[in-house]
């Protein structure tokens, strides 16, 4: 059941300043309960209209007073709506304290994001990957840039997040950062995860992503023809780093291993099987499925080429 709610502004008589001005007060009435607080400003009695609860006239001073009154009224109404959403009921005391910030800890998006990233970094090497941690840090950086560019602020309270914020962030990524659809989709998944943390522990009573729709585009990655593979293999360069990258790419072609799997490949994964051939016995990093790959002549020659450059038991030094 919705509360009866009223906001009234008045000047406090009997508390005149030395110059005759009176303190401006705000009175909140919720279901008959009354609380008031000071608006932290003084008003000349001659300008105050008791009936309308506003300053009269079109002077600069009267306009400034009314602007402050309107600003307080809007903020009080916003706090009222937040309390109704989060708690389901409002009292005059709760509303006053919420407006004044008494007993309310302002949780902000970037603060939560940074805290998450610090905790995530501690798990890297155990059950988390450094690449994923770097992605969280990247999205956190983009949110910080977005807030400064679009909202001209350093951070934003969690309770101010809404669908407009989400759509504005997507627009920023597409226009200012020139991100394509799949990159935007990936960034939004990360942000949605951070928002879910706030929702699950009660710091955010609503879902700002409600109504937001975004999906990845299907990408045709294509493939290399036999002629193109030969062109890569025959590419000559005096740059040793470029030659290494070419050889590792060719190794991936002939083994079907991804970059991460080649990087993790150790001498323990190279085994001579019952048929007398050298095989790679490993588990894929992404899927954790076992792979058994017979080494053909070309990948074996690449392994032999870099055997004397190993820093440890890893087959290749990966740049």
Give pLDDT tens digits for 194-226: 999 998 887 887 899 999 998 999 888 788 999
Question: Residue 40: which residues within 8 A CB-CB, separation 6 or more?
Answer: none
Label residues 300-317 b or e (16+ Cβ within 10 Å = b). Answer: eebbeeeeeeeeeeebbe
Confidence of residue 97 (pLDDT cuts 50, 70, 90): confident
pLDDT surpassing 80 at residue 101: no
C-alpha–C-alpha distance, residues 96 and 230, integer Å: 75
Closest by CA to 133, choosing from 204, 193, 84, 184, is: 193
What per-residue confidence (pLDDT) applies to 104?
55
User: In whole numbers, what is the pLDDT of the chain averaged over residues?
Assistant: 91
Confidence of residue 107 (pLDDT cuts 50, 70, 90): confident
pLDDT surpassing 80 at residue 103: no
Neighbours of 67 (CB within 10 A): 11
Q: Following CA atoms 12, 3, 207, 144 in sequence, which dihedral angle do they give, to the nearest 10 degrees?
A: 0
Burial class (CB in 10 A: 0-12, 13-18, 19+), 154: exposed
280-316 pLDDT tens trace = 999 988 788 999 999 999 999 999 999 999 989 999 9
Number of alpha carbons in the 13 Å side-chain half-sphere of residue 129: 6
What per-residue confidence (pLDDT) applies to 105?
59
pTM, 2 dp:
0.57
Interstrand relation of 22-30 and 5-11 (parallel, antiparallel or unpaired): antiparallel
**The tokens 């009997």 sit on which residue?**
14
What per-residue confidence (pLDDT) applies to 285?
84
What per-residue confidence (pLDDT) applies to 82?
80
What per-residue confidence (pLDDT) applies to 202?
76
Q: In the structure encoding, which two tokens stand for residue 186, read together?
A: 């990936």
């Amino acid at each position: 059941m919705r509360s009866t709610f009223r906001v009234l502004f008045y000047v406090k008589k009997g508390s005149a300043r030395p110059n005759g001005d009176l303190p401006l007060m705000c009175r909140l009435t919720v279901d008959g309960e009354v609380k008031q607080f000071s608006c932290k400003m003084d008003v000349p009695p001659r300008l105050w209209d008791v009936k309308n609860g506003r300053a009269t006239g079109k002077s600069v001073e009267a306009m400034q007073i009314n602007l402050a009154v309107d600003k307080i009224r809007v903020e009080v109404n916003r706090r009222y709506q937040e309390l109704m959403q989060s708690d389901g009921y409002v009292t005059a005391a709760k509303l006053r304290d919420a407006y004044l910030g008494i007993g309310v800890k302002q949780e902000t998006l970037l603060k939560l994001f940074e805290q998450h990233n610090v905790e995530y970094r501690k798990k890297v090497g155990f059950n988390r990957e450094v690449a994923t941690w770097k992605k969280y840090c990247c999205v956190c950086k983009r949110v910080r840039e977005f807030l400064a560019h679009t909202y001209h602020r350093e951070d934003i309270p969690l309770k101010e997040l809404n669908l407009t914020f989400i759509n504005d962030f997507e627009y920023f990524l597409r226009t200012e950062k020139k991100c394509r659809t799949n990159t935007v989709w990936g960034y939004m998944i990360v942000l949605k995860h951070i928002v879910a943390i706030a929702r699950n522990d009660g710091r955010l009573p609503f879902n700002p992503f409600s109504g937001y729709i975004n999906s990845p585009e299907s990408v045709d990655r294509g493939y290399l023809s036999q002629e193109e593979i030969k062109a890569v293999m025959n590419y000559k360069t005096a740059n040793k780093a470029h030659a290494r990258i070419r050889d590792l790419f060719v190794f991936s072609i002939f083994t079907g291993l991804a970059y991460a799997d080649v990087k993790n490949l150790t001498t323990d994964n190279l085994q001579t099987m019952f048929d007398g051939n050298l095989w790679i016995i490993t588990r894929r990093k992404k899927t954790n499925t076992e792979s058994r790959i017979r080494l053909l002549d070309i990948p074996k020659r690449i392994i032999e080429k870099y055997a004397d450059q190993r820093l440890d038991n890893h087959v290749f030094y990966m740049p």
